[in-house]
A and B are shown apart, each in its own frame.
Chain A
């Protein structure tokens, strides 16, 4: 490893070498537009201190890894994002995936469910069961996990707006399975903030979304739900929406700060809740930049927790990272090439030391995965895990001159963008003012233009094109799901105790008026089989619509 004395001679030699071998530096740029030199060496790390910058895995600042064990003992969690149609269909698919070795799932929910609408709402037309499973009430969640032990299957779901309802449903199912609440292992996503600027799935106004998100975390803290990761601060969507890796990191810090500061105002201690957090990042093909990004993120998070918020517990400082390969990076043209892309992206996650990895399927640009394409995505992880030897050593690229230089650069750029956000008053302000939307528009356009103009090569799209013959078997959407789901919903409304539903919705309204934590009352609401649409009708009525329906 570069130590101080050892660098000086080699550093001078490098500078001599660079003088003798001049080149037009700056023609190659990182994804965050900094120049890349042809060679990095000791001169680029002068003054760099191992203990300060890296330390050892499992200890502050956690740059090299979250734990001292790495992947030797515990592989990263091999996870897949899945779900479609109705709860019955997804239940069968979950069992199929578990059979194929998947230990962990992230359940895709359809858009009406995510946006708090019942399957028979006018805006739900055409959307039911398409990009995920249709869930209208606790009844669907019960069907979803029928025959699956909720304390054994670690599950997550992109419940960024409806996490409070989802948690209440999971706890209800768990109870029916005869298990204590503390045995629940789940990831409730719950980062509502990025819905408003990157994902387009906001329901109630941002301030209220924040309140509900933090109700979930507070509930987990006060009820000792140690197995629930109550908040997954997401940078993924910002990245997919067009921002670069440094901005992705900065937004995660800014989002996290927003939740943290509100929770502190509620009287919680940072060490009460920080260990319930994780982050959700994107993995792109900029392999080395992504590895550096992951390391910079871990270091920044540790510093934020310890130095800004005074966290003392190591599990408050040691970041858990969930990573999904970039969907937008995959092409419709020559789709099998996407298997290669996903492999490179997955490698970035493994070399960076993430805790949970999801791989996209090669038919991403066409439809949700088939069983075959999902299997390839799973095998990609399994091959990396078992055939490459990468499990054997923690942070194997650590100490590389280029990687350490990149890690420092990304940290610098991320902090600069974070400061821009904080100087404007923080996330709620930059969302409300449209500043973020403006940046996203510019970024989206610039990237599209780079590919169109040939500045950036995209194999199969602007170079090495072929005459595309559409021969891919893709997953057919089940157009009958909507009809079946609506019929199920109507039957539910007839057969449930509607007086109990009315009472529970009245209690929900009162709790919202009283501004208390809504999770306890939602436990009763979901158990009365009030629908998600009915629950959110109450909340939207009281708090307003983010987008008018």
Chain B
């Protein structure tokens, strides 16, 4: 592994529930990752722009309000259009029947309520493919 894993946690749309992403951000930092959490109420376009700018390895999206099909898919499409390869993950309140659909759209895993931070971290470590980075990659993280 070269440098720390860089994770962008995104809340697309209007969902203002931050408890999960706050816990996860802190938890993943404690697991040694760089976490960027720019706050709520971003458009898919804004999220992808940050993902590209910050050159992240992982994008995790969170939605509790039923808008995941549209918004998560849009992020996946925009990432592809940008040619930005990331480990794409999702979480929040996602009905089981939508999980397969999202996986077909590029989401490697969807973590529902009760998913542990440690197991998410482990999943990231097992599945992320990181580019080579220079040793000092400390700036830009939050």
Contacts and interface: CB of A to CB of B under 8 A. Distances in A.
Interface of A: 111-112, 115, 117, 122-127, 130-131, 195, 199-201, 240-242, 328, 331-333, 365-368, 440-442, 444-445, 447-449, 451-452, 458, 461, 470, 474, 477, 479, 547, 549
Nearest to A330: B113
Contacts of A241: 18-19
Contacts of B14: 111-112, 115, 117, 123-124, 127, 201
Interface residues of B: mostly helix, strand, loop or mixed?
loop
A131 B65 contact: yes
Contacts of A127: 13-14, 65-67
Contacts of B27: 445, 448-449
Given A445-B23, A470-B96, 14 more contacts: A111-B13, A111-B14, A125-B71, A126-B66, A126-B67, A126-B69, A127-B66, A130-B67, A240-B19, A332-B112, A440-B18, A440-B19, A441-B26, A474-B95
A366 B93 contact: yes
Nearest to A438: B22
28 contacts: A112-B14, A124-B14, A125-B70, A126-B13, A126-B68, A127-B13, A130-B67, A131-B66, A199-B16, A200-B17, A201-B14, A242-B23, A328-B19, A331-B113, A365-B112, A367-B66, A441-B22, A441-B25, A444-B18, A444-B22, A444-B23, A445-B23, A445-B27, A447-B23, A448-B116, A448-B117, A452-B116, A474-B95
A111 B19 contact: no
A461 B71 contact: no
A217 B110 CA distance: 44
A432 to B, nearest CB: 15
Interface stretch (B38-46, B81-89, B101-109, B127-135): B38-46
A445 B112 CA distance: 16
Contacts of A122: 43
Contact of B93 (A201, A367, A441): A367
Nearest to A474: B95
Contacts of A332: 112-114
| 10 closest residue pairs by CB, A with B | A200-B16, A126-B70, A126-B67, A130-B66, A111-B14, A444-B23, A448-B23, A452-B116, A445-B26, A441-B22
| Residue among A199, A441, A470 with the highest chain B CB neighbour number at 10 A | A441
A147 B22 CA distance: 44
B113 A111 contact: no
Contact of B18 (A200, A331, A452, A474): A200
Interface string B109-125: 00011101110000000
B20 interface: yes
Contacts of A131: 65-66
Interface residues of B, number: 34
B9 to A, nearest CB: 12
Contacts of A474: 95
Contact of A123 (B13, B17, B22, B96): B13
A127 B93 CA distance: 13
A547 B41 contact: yes
B17 A452 contact: no
A188 to B, nearest CB: 20
B60 to A, nearest CB: 15
A366 B95 contact: yes
Contacts of B65: 111, 127, 130-131
Q: Which of A240, A332, A479 has the most CB of B within 10 A?
A: A332
Contacts of A452: 116-118
Contacts of B112: 332, 365
A287 B70 CA distance: 40
B15 interface: yes
Given A125-B70, A126-B70, A127-B66, A365 B93 contact: yes
B114 A461 contact: yes
Chain B CB within 10 Å, residue with most, of A130, A241, A461 = A130
B114 A333 contact: yes
A23 B29 CA distance: 39
B67 to A, nearest CB: 3
Interface in B5-55: 13-20, 22-27, 39-41, 43
B66 A477 contact: yes
Contacts of B67: 125-127, 130
A449 B23 CA distance: 9
A331 B112 CA distance: 10
B71 to A, nearest CB: 5
Most buried by A among B20, B26, B43, B118: B26
A241 B23 CA distance: 10
A549 B25 CA distance: 24
B22 A445 contact: yes
Greatest chain A CB density within 10 A among B39, B66, B113 is at B66
Nearest to B21: A444
Contacts of A333: 114
Contacts of B26: 441-442, 444-445
Interface string B56-76: 000000000111111100000
